[in-house]
Structure 1
């Protein structure tokens, strides 16, 4: 049977054989009591790698971001965030619903950047009529595009000048690090440099790094202590979580530099789709390729691909995501499947919503 080429997301990865061995061998305890050695080792390792005092292992990136926002902000406080940012648009409104934190969403450009002038104008005066603006939240990567260091520096400097803390939704921080590292810089050193702009960073292990579950929040000891209490309230206290932490630790040690392979495959896919009439390729700067399909033919293309064993998503245009379970042969199959669709004389369908899941 021909294997499926699953390009829906890098969340679909399976643990490698070596990762499974590391999970099987992991010493475990009870993390709610704070004595799971594998969890503690992961938290210490990640905090040291990214230059923070402490880290906290979480089941999901949504919970990691939520705990970070609630650790920074109290009831009646406000955070500034992009209109299309994951923490605002795709995490169920948790900051508002569970934290009573008011989001102040701002327009973003194609690279996900909020204008500095808009950020400055959105910061409320210290007046009882207004929510208290406490936090600026950025996201890196943004739709597969790494944020420029110049923007990170300027936006975080502006926030600090106005008394705000800064949080990074770094679900794909290591993809950004690989894509923007300087000459002679390792991916981990690049990630540490990016993280250095922020007071807290959430990173995900279950995307490009290939772990089955887990994210982590990094910050000061005081912030992580507050987040720990919030994690408990949110139901994130796990017991023998060391098996999962061991997978994340393995990923940090073995799967960061290889993200460059995923980026190369995304470029291969983009190059193969370039020039097809009826398609517009939007990005391939890390491991995500977005494609716009003309004349409302996106749903038909998705169905055509599925029939040929290629999976993609279509929430905000067609999205293809490369990862460690996809190889060059799979990418070539995907390209051929797309080309075969547009080679058919198929009448244009009326515009319709594309099926798909949230953008993570």
Structure 2
């Protein structure tokens, strides 16, 4: 099966599988798992933070950040397209009693500073208390430009707000912009990093911030049922994802460019070149047959999401031959 639906479908490498099979483990709820402890310590150092917490998913890590920064009846500002607003079942409101205040994402994925400032509530008993701003990087595959971070950071500092970054594909942004990842993270108070997307770990995300923040987040994680026992088996794979896999992300970006070139051969598809920055490519089906195309490709062991626009994601487990098979099948469908 050739799968272009997401980079979440990547399989762990043989190196990861061997490390997981032989990982020294302990009870992580008691802080006794050496493999988890090493992952968290090394991640904090590598990513430029005081401390880190290994979480089951990016959704959990984002929720922990929101619940650590905000109390019941508080509010956070985010983008209308933000994952932690649109795709996480309203967890902040449901489980944290935290009100989201979305603003429109600009074409580059940022939140306009004027929009953020206008959304901050005055100190008035009629309003929820604004506590933090959340910005996603990358968003829709687009990395946030480096000059944006000191601006949004200064705005948050001026208004005594925390700045959180949903960095699910943060390494994709760093690779695309050709910067040290710490040059991005130094501008935010807290951030997440997903290890099970392009980095190919089987499970897990990291939440990073100050030691006091991670202490709070760890307590909340336990309350939410996120305390786990011999999690070193998973952390061993995550460690290799963190240490080795960022080195190959440029391959996914290059493959997405090749995919765009090939899809442009199909006149029934309109490739969105402007949004192609990393490993995520969008194409509009001019005939409105995206769902029919999805079903047709599935019969040929090729998976896509037949939404409009169609999103194609390149990753470790697809290559140029996969792209060629995809394009050949698409041409067959439109013949």
Counterpart in 2 of 1:11?
8
Counterpart in 2 of 1:307?
299
Instruction: Indicate which of 236, 248, 258 corresponds to 1:246.
Output: 236
- CA distance in 1: counterparts of 2:111 and 2:145, whole angstroms: 13
- CA distance in 2: counterparts of 1:304 and 1:281, whole angstroms: 20
Q: Does 1:197 align with 2:194?
A: no
Q: Does 1:61 align with 2:88?
A: no
- CA distance in 2: counterparts of 1:137 and 1:312, whole angstroms: 29
Let me know the Cα RMSD of the aligned residues: 1.2
Instruction: Report how far residue 278 of structure 1 moved.
Output: 2.3
Instruction: Indicate which of 87, 90, 112 corresponds to 2:87.
Output: 90
Structure 1 pair 275–333 and aligned structure 2 pair: CA distance change class (3 A): closer
Instruction: Indicate which of 8, 18, 22 corresponds to 1:21.
Output: 18
Instruction: Indicate which of 164, 168, 180 corresponds to 2:165.
Output: 168
After superposition, the C-alpha distances for 1:311-349 in whole angstroms (9 at most, x for unaligned) are 11134521111111111111111122222222x2xxxxx
Q: Does 1:49 align with 2:64?
A: no
Instruction: Report how far residue 309 of structure 1 moved.
Output: 2.0
Q: Does 1:323 align with 2:309?
A: no
Moved over 6 A (4+): none
Aligned length: 333
After superposition, the C-alpha distances for 1:33-72 in whole angstroms (9 at most, x for unaligned) are 0110000000001111111111001011100000011111
Q: Tell me if the contact between 2:290 and 2:307 (Cα under 8 Å) persists in the aligned partners.
A: no
- Structure 2 stretches lacking a partner, 5+ long: none
Q: Does 1:154 align with 2:151?
A: yes
Instruction: Report how far residue 284 of structure 1 moved.
Output: 2.4
Instruction: Report how far residue 295 of structure 1 moved.
Output: 2.9
- CA distance in 2: counterparts of 1:159 and 1:314, whole angstroms: 39
After superposition, the C-alpha distances for 1:288-316 in whole angstroms (9 at most, x for unaligned) are 11111123211111122222221111345
Q: Does 1:33 align with 2:30?
A: yes
- CA distance in 2: counterparts of 1:97 and 1:212, whole angstroms: 28
- CA distance in 2: counterparts of 1:340 and 1:111, whole angstroms: 35
- CA distance in 2: counterparts of 1:99 and 1:307, whole angstroms: 43
The alignment's TM-score, normalised by the length of structure 1, stands at 0.90
Q: Tell me if the contact between 1:50 and 1:196 (Cα under 8 Å) persists in the aligned partners.
A: no
Instruction: Indicate which of 269, 277, 282 corresponds to 2:267.
Output: 277
- CA distance in 1: counterparts of 2:215 and 2:222, whole angstroms: 11
Instruction: Report how far residue 275 of structure 1 moved.
Output: 4.8
- Structure 1 stretches lacking a partner, 5+ long: 183-189, 345-360
Counterpart in 2 of 1:72?
69
- Say which SS state the counterpart of residue 203 (structure 2) adopts: coil
Q: Tell me if the contact between 2:293 and 2:306 (Cα under 8 Å) persists in the aligned partners.
A: no
- CA distance in 2: counterparts of 1:310 and 1:295, whole angstroms: 20
Q: Tell me if the contact between 1:111 and 1:145 (Cα under 8 Å) persists in the aligned partners.
A: yes
Instruction: Report how far residue 110 of structure 1 moved.
Output: 2.6
